[in-house]
Chains A and B, each alone.
Chain A
């Protein structure tokens, strides 16, 4: 049922959203790499004065095995206030949860008991394939006219093209393929938009056959993974412009547009350069009508002894930083950059997006370093800061440590473990009281975090 007044978690502008109350719960996607146990959405208590602060307080197991939960998102968000098709009286209550490996989509209802999300709908892979001709669903964004989901693969087989499917806002039925004209776009990964500019931006990883059995060194050195960014007309659903970063820049992943709707720039993370194993962050911006994409941050690889490296990296005698996720605070001030290989979370002040200033660094895990959490100094950590989520007020940052099942196994062959750390942004330090890890996640690995009420990567705004 619809509400009489707008959902209180919807904000017309990013500045209003920054005044939102602190989240009391976090939802985390957890998956079993061995596909023996069902994957789950874990619920973590984030209220500092609660007796169970930093503990797993809820656990919703899914009915199948082998889904590989990864990213997920809300049914509705602040874009419901956008004026062309406003519907702010719907509720933000359903989590749309894709299985990246199974191509199944789950809908979980968080309303009745936010600590025990309830499964209310299951969309089989066959429906996504039949209606949208896609598989391997990935990123979820709540759009003005429906729920948008990116997908890495075509409906049948393990190839492309990947793209975007749209789900109905209320029934969650697959409405169909989003693209009216995709041009030569084949690879897909992330997407987001500048709603008030009618621009959708999409990035490239690889097709299912290129990623599901692990990173393929031949494809990587052959520069076959994605290295382009696509700019689309959001209203006409057509490809307008493609920018190629150069094929040495392999895997253009996370896209973080400015939240301020009068701005038309955003940040893009690139996993690795095959020339020197460095990672990079780029900014896209409009310049005399056309989009341009400019490199603003280079993070070099770190030399390492071959004996300390997993087999795949031994010939290089270096650890690549592997920037696998980035996140932008709601006020567009700070960009957080995950270096999953070197085990570091970097914070940059991007008030001037073309001239980022490094403003903090935290080490946790890492292929060589294995930095422990200060509260558990005797437990060297595997994995590194990977998925980053920032609270709406920008005061708290959450990081989990798994990248993607088969890739975890290559870079952390002795086991990646499972941990969720929290960073207080004021002094950019780890919260000693918050570190659910290990057995608390029941043998599952953890990927994306979503915060109750919304977070820095869940909502889009139509008013400055």
Chain B
């Protein structure tokens, strides 16, 4: 269940053009090279992983010293507030440069993911896993907590990477960027709504 949730959220992040696949497409189109597109994907995934892993590490570290349900409730509250802020604020990410080296591309992705609270969105999974870990210490079935937050971030990012790569190649090779005009659903609004929901769920599951 938790693995499925991590993968589903990874796919959701990968699908969002703002999280990186569109940038990979633009880089590929600029140089008229599929290779440039493909080489752009790992740094973007790496930046996303770092952003998510920090949240996961903080949850794991906090959960080992504080009662897990406190982590869940506080984390959930942060998520609800952040989501509401994203929903109501009309500010957008600001970044002017487009010619980025691979390390800069990873840094861009890290900042983009962090500004959108990508890691925070995993809180329900991470904290409920932490609670489960506390309750079923030594239980036979492997839980996310047993693998640690980093593994959770890794699985999530793999899913994100796969969906992002598929979107980028599909648009670059077959569909064309004009599809954005009709198909680019306002992910930011959905995203913020998911965050508020995820925060509420976290509180409900851990309280």
B188, A16: Cβ atoms under 8 Å? no
Using Cβ atoms and an 8 Å threshold, which residues of chain A touch B92? 85-87, 90, 169-170
Chain A residue at minimal CB-CB distance from B177: A12
Chain B residue at minimal CB-CB distance from A8: B181
For window 88-131 of B, CB contacts with A under 8 Å fall at 90-99, 108
Option from A5, A84, A196 in Cβ contact (under 8 Å) with B184: A5
Option from A145, A236, A237 in Cβ contact (under 8 Å) with B94: A145
Q: Give the CA-CA distance A326 to B200 in the complex, in Å.
A: 57
Q: Tell me the interface secondary structure of chain A in the complex.
A: loop
A13, B30: Cβ atoms under 8 Å? no
> Which interface class (under 10, 10 to 19, 20 to 34, 35 or more) fits B?
20 to 34
From B20-28, B57-65, B71-79, B146-154, give the one contacting chain A: B20-28
A85, B94: Cβ atoms under 8 Å? yes
A396 at the interface (CB under 8 A from B): no
Q: Give the CA-CA distance A1 to B182 in the complex, in Å.
A: 18
B10 shortest CB reach to chain A, Å: 20
B186 at the interface (CB under 8 A from A): yes
A89, B180: Cβ atoms under 8 Å? no
Interface membership of chain A positions 72-98, coded 1 if the CB is closer than 8 angstroms to chain B and 0 otherwise: 000000000111111111100000000
Number of A-B contacts (CB under 8 A): 108
A4, B180: Cβ atoms under 8 Å? no
For window 137-179 of B, CB contacts with A under 8 Å fall at 177-178
Chain A residue at minimal CB-CB distance from B27: A83
A143 at the interface (CB under 8 A from B): yes
B189 at the interface (CB under 8 A from A): yes
B67 at the interface (CB under 8 A from A): no
A198, B97: Cβ atoms under 8 Å? yes
> Which interface class (under 10, 10 to 19, 20 to 34, 35 or more) fits A?
35 or more
A214 at the interface (CB under 8 A from B): no
Chain B residue at minimal CB-CB distance from A3: B186
Option from B17, B181, B188 in Cβ contact (under 8 Å) with A2: B188
B21 shortest CB reach to chain A, Å: 9
Q: Give the CA-CA distance A8 to B184 in the complex, in Å.
A: 11
Option from A2, A143, A235 in Cβ contact (under 8 Å) with B90: A2
A146 at the interface (CB under 8 A from B): yes
B32 at the interface (CB under 8 A from A): yes
Using Cβ atoms and an 8 Å threshold, which residues of chain A touch B36? none
A404 at the interface (CB under 8 A from B): no
Known: A87-B92, A88-B180. A196 touches B99 (CB 8 A): yes
B25, A83: Cβ atoms under 8 Å? yes
B81 at the interface (CB under 8 A from A): no
Option from A88, A145, A197, A462 in Cβ contact (under 8 Å) with B95: A145
A261 at the interface (CB under 8 A from B): yes
Chain B residue at minimal CB-CB distance from A4: B186
Using Cβ atoms and an 8 Å threshold, which residues of chain B touch A5? 181-182, 184-186
A13, B97: Cβ atoms under 8 Å? no
A464 at the interface (CB under 8 A from B): yes
B186, A81: Cβ atoms under 8 Å? no
B30, A16: Cβ atoms under 8 Å? no
Chain B residue at minimal CB-CB distance from A7: B181
Q: Which of A11, A88, A262 has the most CB of B within 10 A?
A: A88
B29 at the interface (CB under 8 A from A): yes
A463 at the interface (CB under 8 A from B): yes
Q: Give the CA-CA distance A2 to B18 in the complex, in Å.
A: 16
Known: A195-B98, A198-B99. A4 touches B18 (CB 8 A): no
Q: Give the CA-CA distance A306 to B108 in the complex, in Å.
A: 63
A10 at the interface (CB under 8 A from B): yes
Using Cβ atoms and an 8 Å threshold, which residues of chain B touch A146? 94
Interface membership of chain B positions 1-45, coded 1 if the CB is closer than 8 angstroms to chain A and 0 otherwise: 000000000000000011000110110011010000000000000
Chain B residue at minimal CB-CB distance from A194: B98
Q: Give the CA-CA distance A379 to B10 in the complex, in Å.
A: 69
For window 203-254 of A, CB contacts with B under 8 Å fall at 234-237
Option from B98, B108, B178 in Cβ contact (under 8 Å) with A82: B98
Q: Give the CA-CA distance A235 to B104 in the complex, in Å.
A: 12
Given A84-B23, A144-B96, A236-B97; 16 other pairs, CB 8 A cutoff: A1-B90, A2-B186, A2-B188, A4-B185, A4-B189, A5-B181, A6-B184, A11-B181, A81-B177, A83-B17, A83-B18, A83-B98, A84-B95, A84-B108, A261-B30, A262-B29
The 10 closest A-B pairs by CB, nearest first: A235-B97, A87-B92, A83-B23, A145-B94, A83-B22, A12-B177, A84-B95, A85-B95, A89-B186, A83-B26
Q: List 18 A-B contacts (CB under 8 A).
A: A5-B185, A8-B181, A81-B177, A83-B98, A85-B95, A86-B17, A144-B95, A145-B96, A146-B94, A169-B92, A170-B90, A170-B91, A195-B98, A235-B97, A262-B32, A462-B26, A463-B29, A464-B30
